[in-house]
Structure 1
């Protein structure tokens, strides 16, 4: 019955998973109250060639230049096609097509055959992200055979193409990850049947999660990265939980228990560990919901659903499969060399027991050495920089990327992504003083470093009324101006005659350090205008507002994670100090991981043959998501290990022996789980686009650090130094229970007696 229900759900989930990609966006905008969002709202109506979503349209004629009569008609044909496309709901344009022949030079590139036109469209951010990629392909198919290169360039076009690149990278990562998972599972289980069961349950969890996400996406706007995190984390955690459950099941069978009893004991013991693990990760990731960014909440939702579904599959579907398969779980045995086999032995003869004993013999030395290494790895974090990805992260084959490159070559690196200062006069009818303030602002901004140009309504106001520029705003006067001057005036002054735009064209790309510094200077100067209220928008401001939101939320998110983890471990182990030790190791592990990420992606120290993108900074939401998952996964392994250590301690009262035996029982399973996680995360790290590269590599590094330096050295050394204080709890009648669970004395040495799978 259970299998039939799961089969029906799997079919429904698969149908949803197929349609999910069409419901997701790549938007990563700031929260509604940010200045850049307010600026977009002010641009929505009243301007020519502008709207809340504005496109920079680039047309390059490969066969003609501006001196030839055919050039104008060919370029106008492409512009007319875009303006008339009903999917865009284009309102107006400003550029080559609105300027008189003698006024066109500002809109012509250096080669004399490339023109730039600004188009305001009538769809919102999310719709533009979905529409622009398909329209761009149609424009390529239509005009490229005619010798015209037509590109639609803006942040939404970039994000739309990022969605498609993300889907392609996801498929590539799956192709890499699945065979690698099969190899690792065969090494761990030495059984084809067990491997297939683990893969079946894992893929079931991923498909069902994508199906649920498809339902959610019909009501809530979700980012494309939600799909990536579901597949990446769903594969990693799903295989992890299958490993825990299957290992325990085979141990119970080897102890002579019937299949029914083995399944019951597996659910009661390893199932309990899976629940604790899933709860820990979900609690840690849930802290991300306090960040008011769609991208972050989408990632948090995807991660939460992936882990919760992996847990449900492990607790409901997997036991049903185990009942059905029974003792045939070891069918299809795979021969392995003795060096690769790990046969269950008594803990005292295990190499992990010997390693732990060696560490606990010199705990201060080992602890100092490893902590020093982790602190050294964390030092680069002090110089960590965040950035919002732009078109430079797209592959060379990207049409949007090619359009951005064309704009940069012909008009300058910042021409397609100006800093937009939107100003509202404090009076209904701006006077000469207001226009004087506008003029002073434009002049001062032009004098700032790293400014290529400043555009405003001032030249057009002066062209209409040289003696009194404010008089040009009189409707009776502005109605009589020539069309090209009127178009320029309304591109920088709205129909209400009290809302103005000053465009600052940076000399560098939108996310460059110098452009970010310029943004701060522009904001500071614009805030000093006495007669005008200002907000600053544009692609650079949009990214900076998102970065600022992440920076503000990071301390709160970190605090919530640590408090949640402390409480989970306090309840699980009834110890005051063990959770504090876990938090300290989480901080060390996270610091070292971020340090490695800075060295790879910011400093560019990774070898070129690895194919990792050197962005000069970290993806702005990367630290938040990686931190949440590091805390969750690290505490996950803490639960695996300390559950067994606590059982041994309650049985013997000997802290040192309990740690050594606990390590001996759990280290093979933790190591196997870590290898699987590293394989999955690494596959996404090397196959994904830059943001997913950083998430995948970051998680792979974090798991490697936690499963080796932290779990093998720091934990035993610290527990040896803390001795009986490891288990102190003021609420217990006896601070150090040493004889509880004496009933386990005769059975806990059996392979089937562990409590962690």
Structure 2
């Protein structure tokens, strides 16, 4: 088999690799000291997460600002105690139990004054079997550990015909278990895949250690960046998941290339320089593509999603830097021992003879003999998987989709039975006016779909009023969103004084955020595609291939969206995969999935097409170039994709429903990209286009014997 041309031994990357290899102790100590210092500062003094997605110009955001200004006493979290007594709450034994629970909740240092259901008849249903009470929290910075005893108190009191549940945001948070073993399982799975790919414990360990050090530093920097650009609480989980996947993959590409050059007879330093100047160059391009795609979230115009983009980009950048600095230092320590601690193999890894084609080459030949049929079958399969995307609804998880043994879910069920499913989805109306708004209250209360409305409440300064209305449908129901639109577009405008009233509350806020995300998502997709295509054209010098990559990536991401909708929203295999009930797709999941997946798909495109480009420059034949490129990259891309799928799938082991949705979607997308797209669509489409694959305006196709792209990064080949 013809050996590839050796990379240049000069240049910035070559010099960096040589320095890190020779001064490996200094580089390693610098990394350890730097990560330790950043970790101490970040995890000790980093910013707390910010989960306030309100803001902007939506009606709910303006209503919230008005309420904060004129009704400061309404700020702060509350808990809701729900009570269901088979014999009624007035039974002596039942009352004794309820009074004891109320007294314990009221005595907590984190709760404010409470009103017992025995003091207010409005807190009890007509049959006196179901009651509720609101428990204000005395501090806006109440910790999860301070609420856990209250949840335990309520749980322990249930029994003997009395069921109690404690609801509210802090109650849900207190009951949510820690992330658990998800990251550990992901690392274990990645280790197994790497060991299968390399057959050596040493080679397996280098990508793992490199990625973990980079992730530790990246997450700590993320915490520090939160002081300037706030981010929500799922950012660290998401950043760890993305960082683990790309960090191991990037190190995998370089270690694979290092092993190949070493096997060709070069010394460790030369092999390190070769690996960094070839696979390392591709890693830098691929990582930059992921970062650029992530920064596309900025166009969503949501400050917290901007925080997510910046925070996740920091982690990806650290993994890139570690791959071209820390990993060369590790390679300097291992040297020729890269294959140490290996299990015996039945066959050697010698390069196949010219007359013996690999499985990947034979498969490429099968596809290339019927390229149109292969492209149609693959494309049709992806379109079928994407069909559910057309019915996607966005929202936020609430108590109704929590596990059935949670106190917050029990509270939701009791309140829905006694006071209607809309009790947990109140609509809050506010206006800065001294006009008589009683006609507005009557009009809202008389609207079909409204269970009842509360009386007007005037602010202490007398300049604003507010009231609430409870829909007959729940937080997750599409009918509730339709009701909000009817009230805003029809009921309020045609009622005297209604044009001054703003409709807000958590329910309306979720609806506004979902609709704003839906409007801006196409813009973000267009920006990410445009920027990524510019980079890919600069790399491979082909408009055709850049367009092909964009279309194929859109197909694979659309298919992933469809699977998420089918599982999460339609409920197909939902309980099996850890989703207790059908629910809308969490608002941030689609907009977060797209840039991440588009960037990762471009990674694989870069590694494959770079090799195809190299083979085309050598042979001048597209069919041969595709077959050889696929053969030289199939194993490492398969291993990289398997690691990604394993890492993303382990998110299903965690408790966060939104993170699980994102992990499921990304695992499906990577699996599709590494199989249907890379193994079928790419060879089929490139066969159909022939020499047109290399079209670039005002330039002729390069002569196969006079390459015009000497700096094209090579893939880490096997």
Structure-1-length-normalised TM-score:
0.83
Q: How does 1:357-368 map to 2 (within 5 A)?
A: 357-368=365-376
Tell me by how many angstroms 1:140 deviates.
4.2
* Mapped contact 1:58–1:407 kept (Cα < 8 A): no
Residue pair 2:426, 2:470 contacting (<8 A) in 1 also: yes
Deviates more, 1:274-283 or 1:647-656: 647-656
The 1-side partners of 2:701 and 2:154 are apart by 79
List per-residue Cα deviations over 1:376-414 (Å, max 9, x = no partner): 111111111111111233334544334333433333322
Q: What SS class does the counterpart of residue 222 from structure 1 fall into?
A: coil
Following superposition, the deviation at residue 73 of structure 1 comes to 6.5
SS at the partner of 1:44?
Answer: helix
Q: Quick one: which of 652, 676, 684 aligns to 2:619? A: 652
Which residue does 1:450 correspond to in 2?
449
Aligned with 2:342: secondary structure? coil
Task: Work out the CA distance in 1 between the residues paired with 2:309 and 2:708.
Answer: 43
TM-aligned CA distance change 1:693 to 1:344, over 3 Å: farther
Distance 1:158 1:368, change over 3 A: farther
Q: 1:664 to 1:386 in 2, by over 3 A?
A: same
Q: Does 1:199 align with 2:208?
A: yes
Structure 1 residue 589: Cα displacement = 1.1
Question: How far apart, CA to CA, are the structure 2 residues paired with 1:627 and 1:509?
Answer: 29
- Cα RMSD of the aligned pairs, angstroms, is 3.2
Instruction: Report if aligned partners of 1:415, 1:505 keep a CA contact under 8 Å in 2.
Output: yes
Tell me if the contact between 1:26 and 1:159 (Cα under 8 Å) persists in the aligned partners: no
Q: Which residue of 2 aligns with 1:12?
A: 37
Cα shift at 1:232: 0.7
| Deviation at residue 120 of structure 1 after TM alignment | 6.4
| Distance change >3 Å, CA 401–CA 75, structure 1 → 2 | same
2:607–2:715 CA contact under 8 A, matched in 1: no
Aligned: 1:214 with 2:223: yes
Q: CA deviation at 1:59?
A: 6.2
Tell which structure's C-alpha radius of gyration is larger.
1
Distance in 2 (CA, whole Å) between partners of 1:726 and 1:34 is 46
Find out whether 1:380 has 2:388 as its counterpart. yes
Helix, strand or coil at the partner of 1:212: helix
Residue 558 of structure 1: CA displacement? 0.3
1:756 deviation in Å? Answer: 5.8
Alpha-carbon spacing, 1:45–1:621, altered in 2? closer, same or farther (3 Å): closer
Separation (CA, whole Å) in 1 of partners of 2:462 and 2:664: 52
Given candidates 271, 274, 278, the residue that maps to 1:269 is 278
Runs (5+) with no aligned partner, structure 1: 458-491
Correspondence 1:327-476 to 2 at 5 A: 327-336=336-345, 344-346=351-353, 349-425=357-433, 428=434, 430=435, 434=436, 438-457=437-456
Q: Provide the C-alpha distance between the structure 2 equivalents of 1:14 and 1:512, rounded to a whole number of angstroms.
A: 43
Residue pair 2:51, 2:232 contacting (<8 A) in 1 also: yes
**1:12–1:211 contact (8 Å) kept in structure 2:** no
1:630 aligns with 2:653: no
CA distance in 2, matches of 1:247, 1:503: 63
Q: CA deviation at 1:30?
A: 2.8
Match of 2:16 in 1: none
Measure, in 1, the Cα distance between the counterparts of 2:146 and 2:164. 11
1:34 matched residue in structure 2: 58
**TM-score, length basis structure 2:** 0.87
Q: Does 2:229 correspond to 1:228?
A: no
Q: Distance in 1 between matches of 2:156 and 2:665?
A: 44
CA distance in 2, matches of 1:120, 1:498: 25
Inter-partner Cα distance in structure 2 for 1:141 and 1:606:
32
CA distance in 2, matches of 1:254, 1:211: 38
Show the counterpart of 1:510.
Answer: 475
Go from structure 1 to structure 2 and tell me whether the alpha carbon gap of 1:144 and 1:637 turns closer, same or farther (over 3 Å shift): closer
Secondary structure of the equivalent of 1:131? coil
Q: In the aligned structure 1, how far is the partner of 2:151 from the partner of 2:576?
A: 33
Corresponding residue number in structure 1 for 2:298: 289
Distance 1:455 1:658, change over 3 A: same
Counterpart of 2:78 in structure 1 is 55
Whether the aligned pair in 1 keeps the contact of 2:157 and 2:164 (CA below 8 Å) is no
Cα offsets for 1:176-200 (capped at 9, x unmatched):
2122112111100100111111211
Distance change >3 Å, CA 212–CA 397, structure 1 → 2: farther
**2:522 matched to which residue of 1?**
555
Other structure's SS at 1:452 match: strand
CA-to-aligned-CA distance 1:338-393 (integer Å, 9 cap, x gap): 6xx86543576111111112211211111111111111111111111111111233
Report matched runs for 1:572-611 at 5 Å: 572-606=539-573, 608-611=575-578
CA displacement 1:666-704 (0-9 Å, x = unmatched): 111111111111111111134453211111111111111
Q: What is the distance in 2 between the residues matched to 1:730 and 1:368? A: 28
Partner of 1:478: none
* Distance of aligned partners of 1:78 and 1:249 in 2 relative to their CA distance in 1, 3 Å threshold: same
State how far apart, in whole Å, the 2-side matches of 1:737 and 1:254 are.
31
Distance 1:223 1:262 in 2: 43
Against the structure 1 CA distance between its residues 76 and 197, is the aligned structure 2 distance closer, same or farther, given a 3 Å change threshold? closer
CA distance in 2, matches of 1:743, 1:393: 54
2: CA distance, partners of 1:228 / 1:214: 12
Q: 1:289 to 1:111 in 2, by over 3 A?
A: farther
The equivalences for 1:66-145 within 5 A come to 66=90, 77=103, 80-81=106-107, 85=109, 96=116, 104-109=120-125, 112=128, 115-118=131-134, 128=140, 131=142, 133-140=144-151
Cα gap change, 1:594/1:423 in structure 2, threshold over 3 Å: closer, same or farther?
same
